[in-house]
Amino acid sequence: MSAVTSGPTRDIARAAVRAELAQVAFEVFRRDGFDRVTLNDVAAEAGVSRSTFLRYFPSKEDAVLGGLNMQGQRFVTALRARPAAEVDWTALRRAMDALLEDYHRDPANALARTQLIYQTPALHAGCQVRQAGWRPALAHTLTGRATSRRPAASGLAATVRAAAAIDCLNIASEHWADTSGRRDLGDLLDEAFAALAPRPQSQARTLPS
């Protein structure tokens, strides 16, 4: 029995240590400034060696942004679960509600983390790179959402929609951080998505020939 449970137990323990180290790193970065803090500083604050810290996070950026891969997986899973009758743009917005759970669980901490990311060029750039990595899985999911009334999106169209949705998340999050969370992030996302929502054909502007 112990051989069966030891693996999952180790995984849980490792995840707990990783989460604790990430929280310590965030608090140090927030207090002293990301660019002024070294890995040695973070390790000392956490009471571990530099080599131990590096076993969990290969860089300072990873200590802050390491959760983005899991966020992307949740986004894709939520998109797959959306009703087939929904248009892709609506499905993308509603699937993004899965990401808002992190913000609603601890709004103050989420706001502080978001502000740190958008106020630190290295973290902002790293965030964009990691989120761009979500696009292939999102686009693949969109191409599989065909119905009898709606053909599947082409690979190009699906990739554009996925990229636009991620940009909406980034712009809404940056506005949320810049305004110290005065508006609900979900409302900001709604507004961002509405700005790019397909308009009824009758409202579409005819371009001059």
The pLDDT-based confidence of 9 (bands split at 50, 70, 90) is confident
Q: Per-residue pLDDT tens for 97-133?
A: 999 998 899 999 999 999 999 999 999 999 999 999 9
Structure tokens at 206: 């005819």
52 and 91 both lie in a single domain: no
Residues 93 and 126 in one domain: yes
Q: What is the pLDDT of residue 206?
A: 46
* pLDDT tens-digit map of 40-54: 999 999 999 999 999
CA dihedral for 118, 76, 57, 4, sign (positive or negative):
positive
Tell me, what's the pLDDT at 154?
81
Structural domain contains residue 204: no
Mean pLDDT, all residues of the chain: 89
Q: Which of 14-23, 105-114, 193-202 is least confident?
A: 193-202
Q: Which comes out higher in pLDDT, residue 199 or 168?
A: 168
Domain count, the chain: 2
pLDDT of 4 strictly over 80: no
CA dist., res. 90 & res. 61, Å (int)? 32
For residues 179 and 184, give the distance between their C-alpha atoms in angstroms, rounded to a whole number: 11
- DSSP letter for each residue of 79-98: HHTS-TTS-HHHHHHHHTHH
Structural domain includes residue 77: yes
Token pair in block for residue 11: 């995984």
* Angle at 196 (CA atoms; ends 193, 202), nearest 5 degrees: 125
Per-residue pLDDT band for 204 (boundaries 50, 70, 90) equals very low
Residue 1 vs residue 37, higher pLDDT:
37
Domain containing 131 — which CATH number? 1.10.357.10
Q: Do residues 82 and 185 both lie within one domain?
A: yes
174 CB-near residues (< 8 Å, 6+ apart): 118
Whether residue 100 is found in the same domain as residue 150: yes
Domain that holds residue 181: 65-196
Same domain, 24 and 119: no
